[in-house]
Copies of this chain bind each other. A is one copy, B any other.
Amino acid sequence: MVFSKTCEYGIRAVIFIAQKSENGAKIGIKEIAAGIDSPVHFIAKILQDLSKRGLVQSTKGPNGGFYIDKVAQKRTLADVVRAIDGENIFIGCGLGLKNCSETKPCPLHSEFKLIRSEIQKTLSSATIGDFNESLNLGLSFIKER
C-alpha cells in the first residue's frame, strides 16, 4: 500500500537482521530471504544499497553476513524508507501534485498532512534497535507461514 514492494522487503529484512543479530551474530542472505519470505537476489540488492548507506553492515567470506552495529541501531525505519522509496511519502501530495504547499493546496491537503504526520511519527519513532529479539519475544511476525 503505502510502500513499494522493495521497501516492504527492506523494512522486513532490517527488522529480521535486528532480531537475529542482537548478540553480534551475522546473518547470511539466504537465511534472511527465507526468514522474510522474499526472493534471495532481490533482497540482496536491497541490502547492498542499505549497506552503502550504513543502515546495515555486512562482511564477506566464511561466517560473513549482515548485522547491525551500534550506530545503525539508532537509525529509524524512516531512514530505511527514505533510502528506498525517497521522501515522497513524507512530503508528497496525496493527489500527486508536484508540490504540496500551503499556498496552493489540493482539496485534501490538510487531511493528508494528518495522514503523513501519522506515518512520519510511526516510522521516525521506531529505531532499528527496537526490533531485537528480546524486545520482540515472538509476539510479531514478518512472514506468513
Contact = CB atoms under 8 A, between A and B. Distances in A.
Interface of A: 1-3, 5, 8-9, 11-12, 15, 77, 88-89, 92, 94-99, 104-109, 111-112, 114-115, 118-119, 122, 126, 131, 136, 139-144
Nearest to A90: B1
Contact of A108 (B104, B109, B122): B122
Contact of A107 (B2, B96, B119, B140): B140
Contact of A118 (B3, B12, B104, B115): B115
B114 A118 contact: yes
Given A89-B1, A126-B108, A12 B143 contact: no
Contacts of A105: 139-141
A97 B1 contact: no
B97 A140 contact: no
Contacts of A108: 77, 122, 126
Contacts of A109: 140
A1 B107 contact: no
Nearest to A77: B108
A12 B12 CA distance: 33
A142 B131 CA distance: 40
Which 3 pairs across A and B sit closest by C-beta, in order of nearness?
A: A8-B96, A111-B122, A107-B140
Given A1-B88, A94-B1, A98-B144, A136 B107 contact: yes
